[in-house]
Amino acid sequence: MYDSDKRRLSAGEETQQQQLQRQNMFSSNPVKGCTSYTMKSINITKVAVICALCILQLEAATTLSGFGFELLQSQLVAFESRMQTQLEQLQLSVKQTQHEQERLKQEIFQKLAHQDSGVYLVQLIRFSNESFEVFRDGNLNGIYMKGGKQDSNKGIHWYYFRGYRYSLKATKMMIRPYNHDKK
């Protein structure tokens, strides 16, 4: 039946053609009625068999003894081992990177902290007495004298300011602005 024919029908009405089709389907005539009914039942049976086979295949794949489960389980184990290996490599790489960064920071600090742009080196951190004694003449603070009464060497001795006999009581650091225009 066409769409235009369906539109003409109101609810509950049947055409003669529809009535004849229904009668032919269930009539005793083995050629016309049973053939279409038999074909429909055969198609339904085919669909049912195909669905049953698909369900059986799915059940076989999800059971513990099915090949699909074992395959999925082996893939999961392989994936987990790869991820664990990559995680360990990443953690090791991060540790090595952190160690290298700390070593680099220490080396740069050692270079920059103990070297001045001038002729003399400035010792910012006293590692031992020997290294401090080597750079004492270039240090702003000079040689630290022991406490107590001393005639000429009270306070901080700054070697190049007025010689050995002169001792500073205080120091003051001032920064001179740099003139970019003059060279």
Return the residue matching tokens 């055409």: 15
The backbone torsions φ and ψ at residue 86, rounded to the nearest 5 degrees and listed phi first, read -65, -35
Across all residues in the chain, what is the average pLDDT? 64
Calculate what percentage of the chain has a pLDDT beyond 70: 33
Under the banding of pLDDT at 50, 70 and 90, the label for residue 88 is very high
Q: Which residue has the tokens 């990177």?
A: 97
Q: What is the pLDDT of residues 136-146, one digit of tens each?
A: 555 554 455 55
Check residue 29 and give its pLDDT: 47
pLDDT in tens, 37-63: 666 677 777 777 787 777 766 655 555
Whole-prediction pTM value? 0.28
